[in-house]
């Protein structure tokens, strides 16, 4: 569960993030965001920074 919280907390630091959903296994992350405040590259960077890979 701490890994899932790490992903969520990392996303909270970006402006424009509305919601972050992580499945219980930590394998899938869904991020709802506002286009004008954050880019996909920034979101991918945060996901990779906590040890996940973007596919």
pTM over 0.75: no
- In this model, does residue 7 exceed pLDDT 80? yes
Name the residue with tokens 């993030």: 17
pLDDT, tens digit, 9 for 90 and up, residues 9-43 = 888 888 888 988 888 876 788 888 888 888 889 88
The DSSP annotation for 9-55 comes to: HHHHTSTTEEEEEE-TTS--EEEEE-TTT--HHHHHHHHHHTT----
Cβ atoms of 52 and 7 within 8 Å: the answer is yes
Structure confidence at residue 1 (pLDDT): 62
Structure confidence at residue 14 (pLDDT): 85
Q: Which domains does the chain have, with CATH numbers?
A: 2-49 (3.30.70.100)
Q: State the Cα–Cα distance between residues 15 and 55, nearest whole angstrom.
A: 23
């Amino acid at each position: 569960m701490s890994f899932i919280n790490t992903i969520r907390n990392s996303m909270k630091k970006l402006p424009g993030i509305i919601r972050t959903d992580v499945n219980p296994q930590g394998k899938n992350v869904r991020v709802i965001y506002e286009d004008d405040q954050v880019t996909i590259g920034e979101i991918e960077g945060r996901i990779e920074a906590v040890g996940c890979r973007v596919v």
